[in-house]
Structure 1
Amino acid sequence: AGVITADIAPFALSELLDNLAAEYTQVARSEGLQLHFIGCSALVRSDIQLLARILRNLLSNAIRYTYSGRVVLGCRREHQRLSIQVWDTGMGIAEERLEEIFQEFKRGDVQRPDQDRGLGLGLAIVEKIARILGHRITVRSWPGRGSMFSVQVPLSNSAPKALPKPVMSEPMLERLQGARVWVLDNDAAICAGMRTLLEGWGCQVVTALSEQDLARQVDNYHAQADLLIADYHLDDERNGVDAVARINARRASAIPAMMITANYSNELKQQIRELGHTLMHKPVRPMKLKTAMSHLLGRP
């Protein structure tokens, strides 16, 4: 809609790919597939948030349209550019449809029978974001054998500015041990990734794709909880802010809430601040998430 502007800066690609690989390895495994990841330490110039959105959509699509086999995430150097590639052993796309799949509301003919149909916006969003970034998207496909989608990003000669690493004190780390955390997100991939991450920090995690799904698992929201992490954009035009309000309205005491979103609008930022929630933007870096959770869990 013309409201997204790119924040181009150099960064180490491993910072993004390592996190995505860890998250989607879990998702692929839950679908009976393997994710094979070839790491890359190159420095590139892009908007890390927007590039993450492109790669998430490509990885989700690869899993969605692959019945068996594997998905591969890796890179190939091409002169002064780096081609980030997602390969799959899925059903492939007929040559005459390769242009059409980037149009809004166009979907592949066949996908895994247990997958929701989606809106057919994934590749249209990929194409629009790539245009904003000035990155080229290419696709090659072999019907019945699989596909390869790639995004070309410029290599960087300069290193990113070093950011001071937040220091985690012992009390902050202890707060995460045994913390009861609810995660509400309509993307199964995000839920799987968050569960792996948070359980690795010692949290007791409940993940849910909808409010109804969460209610079933946590005694209609009455179970004990220390923190609620919600995605802002949920299904059926619902949002995380309203979901948190409805959940807390049915409890004796409100759960501290953290809102995660790819929406960078100042209006949303102001609204969440006024409600007293914590706001984090996608893609969420694990250390930043851990620090924010520790502060929330340490509130009196």
Structure 2
Amino acid sequence: MSTIKGNTVVVLERDAVLRLGVEALLESWDCRVVAGDSIDELISSIRADNLRPTLLLLPPTDGRQTGDQLAERFEAEIGCSLPWIGVTGDLALLKRWKAGEIGGILLEMPCSPETLRAAMVGALQGSV
């Protein structure tokens, strides 16, 4: 399987326990992780450390904005297009994604580490 080692992954997650778990998993795969609970915090960290992210892990919706809108904001602020992955248990969102109404890659909860890794490899290769 292709590697994701060395990629810089941005993780937007408001739940601290989930965020720390995802961060630990990504770091075990030798990814550099920029994690936080707000888009402003993440953009500030990326700029301060002069990072070039390669992938976004975003909520499919944060209650105000969709994952597509969040990804567009990152792209506008950082200056490059980035693939994004979201994980959801919302079957209506998954149905909309399958119908092509939502961009990115949506994975259904529960999501195994192997499924996430495969989605990341596909997103980074542009094959998903």
Whether these two folds match at TM > 0.5 is yes
- Partner in structure 2 of residue 224 of structure 1: 52
Deviation at 1:249? 2.1
TM-score, length-scaled by structure 2: 0.84
What secondary structure does 1:231 align onto?
coil
- Select the residue among 192, 197, 200 that pairs with 2:20: 192
Structure 2 gaps, min length 5: none
TM-superposed deviation, 1:234: 2.0
**1:268 Cα deviation (Å)?**
4.2
The Cα offsets for residues 69-109 of structure 1, whole Å up to 9 and x where unpaired, read as xxxxxxxxxxxxxxxxxxxxxxxxxxxxxxxxxxxxxxxxx
Q: Spell out, residue by residue over 1:32-63, the C-alpha distance to the aligned partner (whole angstroms, 9 max, x if none).
A: xxxxxxxxxxxxxxxxxxxxxxxxxxxxxxxx
Tell me the residue number matched to 1:263: 90
Alignment of 1:138-217 (within 5 A): 169=1, 172=2, 174=3, 176-217=4-45
Shift in Å at residue 223 of structure 1?
3.0
Q: 2:116 aligns with which of 273, 289, 293?
A: 289
Task: Please list every run of 5 or more consecutive structure 1 residues that lacks an aligned counterpart in the other structure.
Answer: 1-168
User: What is residue 133 of structure 1 aligned with on the other side?
Assistant: none
Higher relative contact order (CA 8 A, sep 6+): 2
Cα distance change on mapping 1:268 and 1:296 into 2, 3 Å: closer
State whether residues 186 and 234 of structure 1, in contact with CA within 8 Å, keep that contact through their aligned partners in structure 2: no
Do the aligned partners of 2:60 and 2:106 also contact (CA within 8 Å) in 1?
no
Query: 1:7-26, aligned counterparts within 5 Å?
Result: none
- Residue 239 of structure 1 deviates from its aligned partner by 3.3
Measured against aligned partners, the alpha-carbon deviations of 1:193-223 in whole angstroms (never above 9, x if no partner) come to 1011111111111111011121121118x73
Q: Aligned partners of 2:9 and 2:44: how far apart in 1?
A: 15
Q: Distance in 2 between matches of 1:200 and 1:238?
A: 30
Measure the CA separation in 2 of the matches of 1:195 and 1:182.
9
Q: Which has the higher helix share?
A: 2
SS of the residue corresponding to residue 283 of structure 1 reads: coil
Structure 1 runs (4+) greater than 3 angstroms displaced: none
- TM superposition shift of 1:285: 0.7
Give the TM-score normalised by the residue count of structure 1: 0.38
User: Do the aligned partners of 1:181 and 1:225 also contact (CA within 8 Å) in 2?
Assistant: yes
Instruction: Give the secondary-structure state (helix, strand or coil) at the position aligned to 2:33.
Output: strand
Are 1:253 and 2:77 an aligned pair? no
The alignment yields a C-alpha RMSD, in angstroms, of 2.0
The structure with the greater share of residues assigned to strand is: 1
CA distance in 2, matches of 1:286, 1:185: 17
